[in-house]
Structure formats: structure tokens, C-alpha cells
């Protein structure tokens, strides 16, 4: 299902029906309003991922992917039956003029793997963790960063919040400890939440999902300095003219004590067993309009055989939040 603005009235209801969401501890509309406020209230853009590039490609499942999930996208064996994909790379946040050189900001990757029986949608980032554990914590994270009367956030409030909520610093620390990607296609992306994969026998497997870039590329501090503020879109055009940008979709399998409802908690993935579910090939740039007409909704737009965590409040709230952003940017 692709959601258009005309379907917005039913969007929140749909999300509730599709996902037995836990009681939300913060209003999605209030969160999205603050996301816009923090990044300068730009008009006609997403509350996050405002600067980005729309793409197309295809997904080819691994021969044994169906043993983990009965989703149709994982059972099309022949390469000529590859699943069509619409996708979008983006910079985190609601500022459409953000520099591609920004370090402590996630790069985003949204994608829809189309199938008549139900699209499979992932909206993933270039870090293994999200910045907050609950919607209420996200609301406060944004409140302290909202500009005050002088146009700037109150640095003392930001510091006090960080001291009281240390897990909210993990994402920025992770990004700051690594070089900036040289390309949207040169970095790995994580779905962050824990997914449940269910096969045709009804056997369930819990896993985190990661898109592993075939051609990783980073910039040294010196190389970064020499770059203009916007270089990802041109780099991508040149890269795709040479051939597809590929990612393996890897399932990192949970062990019994791994946290499954906390988006700020990474698993020691080098110590976990993995299974490759397939390969995504990004082949060409698409007009923005192809990506802008609807949201990529990772909560509702999933076929049977794969589901995000209904008991992770950060997952459930994404659907109504994305719908609010779509409604605002479409008006």
C-alpha cells in the first residue's frame, strides 16, 4: 500500500489496526512540529531526510531467504524475477540545505520493495542505533534543541538533558568516531529495530537488519575539507553511470538476552550469526516526484512473513509521525 495525502485521514487508524501499538507516551504531531522547529521550519520538505535523492533499482533474494521468511520478496528465485524497488537516500534532519559534510548526522536510506501481495518498506540509517528510546524522550530531546528567543537552543538545557539521558548520546558518539561517507552508496545502513521473520512453517526468527554496502568509501578529514557542501547527488550520478550500487541485506540473528525493544541499544553484531537475505541494486536516479508523493512507511507497509517490533514504542510511532509530515509538506 502506498499512502497518499488523500488517505491521511485514515492513516493513524490504519497504523493502529496493523500494529498492536503500546500506548504512545508522546503525541506524534507534537514531535513532528518540533522536528520542523529544530531544523528551521522549512516549507514543503520532510521533517527528516529533507535533502535527498530519489532512486530506482531491484532486489534479488538469496536462494535460501525463504527458509527464514515467507514474504514474497524473499522467494523470487530467478534473477529475471528481481523485485522492483523505489528508494531514496537522504541526510538526517529537516534542513534541505544541510551540508553533506556534516559528521554527527545519519545518512538515510528509504526503500519500497514492490510486490502485488504487499510492498516491503525499510527506512534505515547509517548508524546501528537511534538517538532515543521512547517517544517521550524524543519529545524532550527535541524540546531542548528548539531555538529560544535568540534563535538558538539553550546549551545548558542540552547539556543537562544529555547528562540525565546518557543513551541519547550514543548515536552521535558512534558517528563522530567514524569518517564521513564519501558516497550515499559507500556506507552501511541499519534498520535499528528488531524484526521478526516468519517462514511458511510458522517458525519465527528475531533479527536486526543491515544493508551492507559492496563498495564502502569514506573521506579523510583533509579530503572532506576540499569538498563542496553538496557533492553526494553528483557523486551518485557518476557512480550509477558506471554501474549499479549494491548492498547485501543481512539479518543479524538475535541471541536470547539481546534487547529487542530499545532502539538505542546495539547488539555485538560481530559476535552474532548472520544470514544474507538478498542483494539490492540501485540502478538509476528518479525524479523527486516519484518519492515525494507518499511516505515510505516501515510500520504499515510490510507483507506477511516480516514485521517490526509492535512492542517497541519508537517503531510504532513512526507511522503516524510520517503521515503528519507528509500532510504538512503536501499543503
CB of 80 to ligand HEM, least distance (A): 29
User: What are the C-alpha distances in Å from 306 to residues 65, 74, 112, 255, 273?
Assistant: 12, 10, 14, 18, 19
Tell the residue number behind the cell numbers 502485488, with chain if given: 116
What's the rounded Cα separation, in Å, for the pair 218 and 214?
13
CB atoms within 10 A of CB 163: 9
Q: Which stretch binds ligand HEM (CB under 6 A): 10-18, 119-127, 215-223, 264-272?
A: 119-127
CB of 331 to ligand HEM, least distance (A): 12
CB of 314 to ligand HEM, least distance (A): 5
Is residue 322 annotated as involved in ligand binding?
yes
Q: Provide the grid cell at 264.
A: 538505542
> Is position 98 an interface residue for ligand HEM (rule: CB under 6 A)?
no
The residues near 135 (Cβ < 8 Å, ≥ 6 apart) are: 24, 25, 26, 28, 31, 313, 314, 317
- Out of 15, 18, 49, 91, the residue judged to bind ligand HEM by CB under 6 A: 49
SS3 237: helix
Which runs of E-coded beta strand occur in 76-179? 83-91, 107-113, 120-125
CB atoms within 10 A of CB 1: 14
What's the rounded Cα separation, in Å, for the pair 61 and 251?
12
> Is position 31 an interface residue for ligand HEM (rule: CB under 6 A)?
yes
Q: Provide the grid cell at 106.
A: 545519519
> Is position 124 an interface residue for ligand HEM (rule: CB under 6 A)?
yes
Is the CB of 59 or the CB of 122 nearer to ligand HEM? 122
CB of 190 to ligand HEM, least distance (A): 7
Considering only residues 209 to 228 of the shown chain, the ones binding ligand HEM according to CB under 6 A are: none
Tell the residue number behind the cell numbers 538509476, with chain if given: 284
User: How many chain residues bind ligand HEM (CB under 6 A)?
Assistant: 32
> Is position 32 an interface residue for ligand HEM (rule: CB under 6 A)?
yes
> Is position 52 an interface residue for ligand HEM (rule: CB under 6 A)?
yes
- Out of 91, 254, 317, 319, the residue judged to bind ligand HEM by CB under 6 A: 317
Binding residues for heme: 322
Write out the residues near ligand HEM by the rule CB under 6 A: 28, 31-32, 35, 46-49, 52, 88, 90, 108, 110, 123-125, 130, 135, 138, 192-193, 263, 295-296, 314, 317-318, 321-322, 325-326, 329
Amino acid at each position: 500500500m502506498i499512502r497518499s495525502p488523500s488517505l491521511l485521514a485514515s492513516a493513524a487508524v490504519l497504523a493502529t489496526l496493523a500494529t498492536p501499538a503500546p500506548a504512545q507516551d508522546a503525541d506524534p504531531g507534537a514531535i513532528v512540529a518540533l522536528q520542523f522547529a529544530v531544523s528551521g521550519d522549512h516549507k514543503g520538505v520532510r521533517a527528516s531526510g529533507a535533502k535527498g535523492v530519489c532512486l530506482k533499482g531491484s532486489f534479488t533474494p538469496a536462494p535460501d531467504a525463504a527458509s527464514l521468511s515467507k514474504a514474497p520478496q524473499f522467494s523470487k528465485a530467478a534473477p529475471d524475477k528481481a523485485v522492483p524497488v523505489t528508494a531514496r537516500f537522504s541526510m538526517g534532519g529537516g534542513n534541505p540545505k544541510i551540508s553533506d559534510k556534516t559528521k554527527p548526522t545519519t545518512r538515510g536510506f528509504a526503500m519500497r520493495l514492490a510486490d502485488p501481495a504487499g510492498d516491503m518498506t525499510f527506512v534505515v540509517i547509517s548508524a546501528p542505533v537511534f538517538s532515543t528510546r521512547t517517544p517521550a524522550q524524543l519529545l524532550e530531546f527535541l524540546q531542548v534543541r528548539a531555538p529560544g528567543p535568540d534563535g538558538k537552543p539553550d546549551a545548558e538545557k542540552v547539556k543537562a538533558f544529555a547528562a540525565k539521558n546518557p543513551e541519547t548520546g550514543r548515536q552521535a558518539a558512534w558517528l563522530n568516531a567514524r569518517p564521513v561517507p564519501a558516497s550515499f552508496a559507500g556506507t552501511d545502513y541499519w534498520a535499528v529495530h528488531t524484526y521478526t521473520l516468519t517462514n511458511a512453517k510458522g517458525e519465527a526468527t528475531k533479527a536486526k537488519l543491515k544493508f551492507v554496502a559492496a563498495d564502502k568509501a569514506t573521506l579523510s578529514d583533509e579530503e572532506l575539507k576540499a569538498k563542496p557542501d553538496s557533492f553526494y547527488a553528483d557523486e551518485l550520478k557518476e557512480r550509477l553511470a558506471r554501474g549499479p550500487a549494491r548492498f547485501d541485506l543481512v539479518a543479524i540473528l538475535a541471541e536470547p538476552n539481546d534487547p529487542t525493544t530499545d532502539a538505542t541499544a546495539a547488539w555485538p553484531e560481530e559476535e552474532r550469526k548472520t544470514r544474507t537475505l538478498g542483494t539490492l541494486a540501485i540502478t538509476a536516479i528518479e525524479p523527486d516526484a516519484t518519492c515525494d508523493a507518499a511516505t515510505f512507511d516501515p510500520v504499515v507497509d510490510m507483507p506477511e512473513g516480516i514485521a517490526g517490533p509492535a512492542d517497541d514504542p519508537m517503531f510504532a510511532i513512526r507511522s503516524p509521525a510520517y503521515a503528519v509530515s507528509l500532510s504538512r509538506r503536501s499543503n
